[in-house]
Structure 1
Amino acid sequence: MNWQQTIAALETGSVRSAYRDETGNWQANVDAKQAILAAFKAGENTEFNGVYPGFVDKDNLPPRQFKVEDKVRLVPGGSSVRRGAYVAPGVIIMPPAYINIGAFVDSGTMVDSHALIGSCAQVGKNVHVSAAVQIGGVLEPVGAKPVIIEDDVFLGAGVVIVEGIVVKKGAVIAPGVSLSASVPVYDCVNQQMLEKGAAIPERAVVVPGTRPVKGDWGNELGLTMACALIVKYRDEKSDASLTLESVLR
């Protein structure tokens, strides 16, 4: 496929910028990401008038516009979904929010105010993306996988997830947690430290934590560094507190 066909396929969800391999691990779709880069190279900056007066971007990558039959609720107030991003029926986008090219947002997901879903990021079904959540995008290098948020995940306000971190099904990431390849994650239930950049396990409940800075000077001043702590795994009580109200959808 040429870049035009690939961008169109990404937008319909028939092609994704990341996929599960035969072992169940997520991998980047290099061809799709190369097509996105080709689209940027082919486009020229233009002024968007009419619906988007005063905005300048690539002429071949305009913001998407939705109709009632798309069954996507895009609430007025400054949100934007770029061309080449897939948004499934049943998704709600509260203003202002931004979904970038190559992203995949599956059905039943709520994207709250001031949230970012970066280029090529993958968000599963029935995910709650709370206010000010930042889900990082990865276009380059093309072989690097984007952030993956699997089904039924709850992301609390202000969560930041970058550098290709995978959050597995049903996990709960508490407000203020930052996850990256360099942020250590400690599993307090199983009393172990996850490998660098490892996926957050299914149904894990993750909260912000700190750890002491090494060295006499750091100890003297009581300095600490950020980390993330798995404090429990979801149970029936957790599930009840996180039930998403169907009336909001």
Structure 2
Amino acid sequence: MVAVTEWEKTLNELEAGRVRSANFIDGQWVANTAIKQQILEAFKAGILKEENGFVDKHNLMPQNFRLEHGVRVVPGGTSVRRGAHVAKGVIIMPPSYINVGAFVDEGTMVDSHVLVGSCAQIGKRVHLSAAVQIGGVLEPIGAAPVVIEDEAFIGAGAVIVEGIIVKRRAVIAPGVILSKGIPVYDIVNGRMLDKGEPIPENAVVVPGNRPVKSDNAYATQLGLTLQCAIIVKYRDEKSETSLVLEDFLR
């Protein structure tokens, strides 16, 4: 009988959702370094294999879903890599890609051309609209992943990277880019979020611009601006996502 390696056990546990590559501990999301180390071990142990016209590590080939998984994967080029957890009730439209170590919770919609990067954490009943890019991170193993909490709405073409956390029921408008280098201004409360501070619960975030802070006469003459994100309001429990966005994007 062939012994099961530690990394194989870890990939199995990740797919089943019994372990995660990041955990919510004492009020904050923390990378599970032991799990991420085993994912890296799987990459090291993998041997290149050709399958269906593709070449990848033999032990990280895409998963094959069956009816009993309760996941709807629409035909047309979607791949869910080995070691990713996709819960019951998730819908994945083609083509989309969910990478190793990612966690996608129940009832979430993954629309066309969506990337869910390695170790990203996606909550329950999240809507990832078309062409959304959720960044991934394997190394350094202590780096926290992007986290999208329950019932958040991420608009088409939004890009969320570098460990940004979007709290529950937040609305990210189409085209918003969130990274540690892009400031987020909360005009409701008259403040700028601290670097790495999560997007607050129920926040409605739209794309914006700010003047270049520079004594460069050329930049001033042209009126050059830099990208930012703006919290324009906060949802209440009754507000519908579509109506909230329509009000502020007209």
TM-score (norm 1): 0.93
The answer to whether the 8 Å contact 2:114/2:128 transfers is: yes
Distance 1:240 1:199, change over 3 A: closer
Quick one: distance in 1 between partners of 2:95 and 2:243? Answer: 23
Distance 1:209 1:142, change over 3 A: same
Quick one: distance in 1 between partners of 2:239 and 2:67? Answer: 34
Q: Which residue of 1 aligns with 2:240?
A: 239
Distance 1:70 1:194, change over 3 A: same
Task: Please report how far the alpha carbon of residue 242 of structure 1 lies from its aligned counterpart in structure 2 after TM superposition.
Answer: 6.6
Task: Please report how far the alpha carbon of residue 240 of structure 1 lies from its aligned counterpart in structure 2 after TM superposition.
Answer: 6.2
Quick one: distance in 1 between partners of 2:57 and 2:237? Answer: 48
Work out which of the residue numbers 20, 23, 27 in structure 2 matches 1:24: 27
Q: Which runs of 4+ in 1 moved over 3 A?
A: 240-243
Counterpart residue type for residue 180 of structure 2: A
Distance 1:240 1:56, change over 3 A: closer
Q: Which residue of 2 aligns with 1:40?
A: 43
The answer to whether the 8 Å contact 2:153/2:241 transfers is: no
3-state DSSP class of the match of 2:226? strand
Distance 1:240 1:10, change over 3 A: closer
Counterpart residue type for residue 4 of structure 1: E
Q: Which residue of 1 aligns with 2:99?
A: 100
Q: Which residue of 1 aligns with 2:220?
A: 219
Task: Please report how far the alpha carbon of residue 229 of structure 1 lies from its aligned counterpart in structure 2 after TM superposition.
Answer: 0.1
User: Aligned-pair RMSD on alpha carbons?
Assistant: 1.3
Q: Which residue of 1 aligns with 2:157?
A: 158
Quick one: distance in 1 between partners of 2:10 and 2:243? Answer: 37
Counterpart residue type for residue 54 of structure 1: G
83-92 or 214-223: which moved more?
Answer: 214-223
Distance 1:170 1:101, change over 3 A: same
Distance 1:114 1:155, change over 3 A: same
Say if 2:11 is the partner of 1:10: no
Count of residues paired in the alignment:
238
The answer to whether the 8 Å contact 1:212/1:218 transfers is: no
Gaps of 5+ in 2: 245-250
TM-score (norm 2): 0.93
154-163 or 231-240: which moved more?
Answer: 231-240
Quick one: distance in 2 between partners of 1:206 and 1:240? Answer: 12
The answer to whether the 8 Å contact 1:172/1:204 transfers is: yes
Gaps of 5+ in 1: 244-249
Counterpart residue type for residue 230 of structure 1: I
Task: Please report how far the alpha carbon of residue 236 of structure 1 lies from its aligned counterpart in structure 2 after TM superposition.
Answer: 5.2
3-state DSSP class of the match of 2:205? strand
Task: Please report how far the alpha carbon of residue 219 of structure 1 lies from its aligned counterpart in structure 2 after TM superposition.
Answer: 1.4
Counterpart residue type for residue 199 of structure 2: I
3-state DSSP class of the match of 2:219? helix
Q: Percent identity?
A: 67
